[in-house]
Structure 1
Amino acid sequence: MNLSKAKKIYFASDQHFGIPSTEKSKIRELKFIEWLDTIKKDADAIFLLGDLFDFWFEYQKVIPKGYVRVLGKLAEIRDSGIPIMFFVGNHDLWMEDYFQTELNIPVFRTPQQYTFQGKHFLIGHGDGLGPGDKGYKRMKKVFTNPFSKWLFRWFHPDLGVKFAQYLSTQNKLISGDEDVIFLGEENEWLVQYAKKKLETKHFDFFIFGHRHLPMEIKIGESLYINTGDWIRHFTYAEFDGEQLSLKKFL
């Protein structure tokens, strides 16, 4: 993909709309919508790297209540012709076809490779990648099992969504959240994942979320960026055709 003149590609993750309360979440949602309105003027594409919602489950005829403003804004931007790509995170991993059918936004469950302006990217949410985190990896297999999703569908949405939201905020093993401090390159599993990938193929840029910690780390001639979050940091990544940089929305 070649960028149009004076256009950019944007990346953001971990908005976790829905917590800690409806009222406080709405404040962050409005700020995120303001950012979307700002970038749509020069965006060639927008990548949302997961955990847009703190919990999401699609019944056959029901989706979680709320989020009307952000969903409407995404629909508006997509209808204007700007591509949007969504990567499932560990909090919205039960996403099905709603984004594709209603918003025309493709949904990805694994990291994807892209080439923009001759630069090679590997892009994803980041949960369960690299060494370690074995407890979460086992738990993820349980929650992504089709039988587990089938069982959950038998809960009435009023009960199922409330119970899942409680687990999402209280159980770190289920959420996969790490301590939001820099652990050093040797303990940052996504950095180790990127290094392992570079043993077999060159990538100029690795872009992930999940860690809730904005990071720019050089790995040889490559660059790893973590997009941070929209809870504490309000950070995002921007590619202008030559440089990939981490920025903060004030």
Structure 2
Amino acid sequence: MHLPHGKKIYFASDQHFGAPTRELSIPREQKFVKWLDQIKEDAGVIFLLGDLFDFWFEYKTVIPKGFVRVFGKLAEIRDSGIPIYFFVGNHDLWMHDYFEKELNIPVYHDNQEYTFGNKTFLVGHGDGKGPGDKGYKRMKKVFASPFSKWLYRWLHPDVGVKIAQYLSVKNKLISGEADVKFLGEDNEWLVLYAKRKLEKKHYNYFVFGHRHLPMKISVGENSTYINLGDWIGYFTYGVFDGETFELLEFKD
């Protein structure tokens, strides 16, 4: 993928808009929109790596209401010609084709490989990767199955969205602190996942979200694992200028 001279690649993840309530989420949405306004001046590509919403489900003719500021800004940026790529997370797992049809933003449900200049990237949300967490991996298969989605659609949207929002906000990544503590390189499962992938193929950068903790860790010779943090407490994002990758904090 060609990166025009003077342009940069931006990465962000785990905004969880809608949590803990729609009203309390709005200031974070406004801050994110300001960030998008700032980066559109030199963005060559924008990657959103999942959990943009704390809950998302697409019925055939209905989506969760709200998030107008975010949708409007993404539409404006995409219409200006800047590519945006979206990777579903575990909270917006049930995203289908709304982004593709309404915003012209491709949606991916698994990792993707990219090459910018002479640098190779493996990009994704990060949930369900690496060793352990077998319970979640089994649960994800159930929730991601076409039958589960078909069954859930039979719930009236007012009921289905309300139940899912309640359960989603109770998720420990939002309400607890245990999962935003560094576990050490030997226990960070996405670090272990990156090292395992390097046994078969070299990547310069592994870029993920999901952990809600900003991290930049060497995983091999000329290979770095980056976790983007979140837009709940850290407001961090990644930027690649064609040569180097930085993990930065957005300050309003």
TM-score > 0.5, shorter chain as reference: yes
Does residue 153 in structure 1 map to residue 153 in structure 2? yes
Separation in structure 2 between the aligned mates of residue 148 and residue 19 of structure 1, nearest angstrom? 24
How many residue pairs are counted as aligned between the two chains? Answer: 248
Amino acid at match of 1:159: V
Classify the secondary structure of the residue corresponding to 1:217: strand
What is the match of residue 47 of structure 2? Answer: 47
Amino acid at match of 1:249: F
User: How much does 1:2 deviate?
Assistant: 2.2
Equivalences for 1:14-33 in 2 at 5 Å? Answer: 14-33=14-33
Separation in structure 1 between the aligned mates of residue 47 and residue 146 of structure 2, nearest angstrom? 27
**Uncovered stretches (5+) of structure 1, i.e. residues with no partner:** none
User: How much does 1:170 deviate?
Assistant: 2.0
User: How much does 1:96 deviate?
Assistant: 0.4
What is the match of residue 60 of structure 1? Answer: 60
**Uncovered stretches (5+) of structure 2, i.e. residues with no partner:** none
Contact kept, 8 Å, 2:49 with 2:124, in 1: the verdict is yes
What is the match of residue 98 of structure 2? Answer: 98
Separation in structure 2 between the aligned mates of residue 172 and residue 216 of structure 1, nearest angstrom? 23
CA RMSD of aligned residues (A): 1.4
Equivalences for 1:1-250 in 2 at 5 Å? Answer: 1-172=1-172, 179-221=179-221, 222-250=223-251
Tell me the percent identity: 72
Contact kept, 8 Å, 1:9 with 1:44, in 2: the verdict is yes
Deviations 1:123-156 (A, max 9, x none): 0000000001111111111100111111100110
Separation in structure 1 between the aligned mates of residue 69 and residue 225 of structure 2, nearest angstrom? 32
Separation in structure 2 between the aligned mates of residue 192 and residue 88 of structure 1, nearest angstrom? 22
Contact kept, 8 Å, 1:123 with 1:206, in 2: the verdict is yes
Deviations 1:192-225 (A, max 9, x none): 1100000000000000000000000011220110
Worse-matched range after superposition: 81-90 or 218-227:
218-227
Separation in structure 2 between the aligned mates of residue 178 and residue 159 of structure 1, nearest angstrom? 31
Amino acid at match of 1:139: M
Contact kept, 8 Å, 2:195 with 2:220, in 1: the verdict is no
Separation in structure 1 between the aligned mates of residue 160 and residue 43 of structure 2, nearest angstrom? 37
User: How much does 1:172 deviate?
Assistant: 4.6
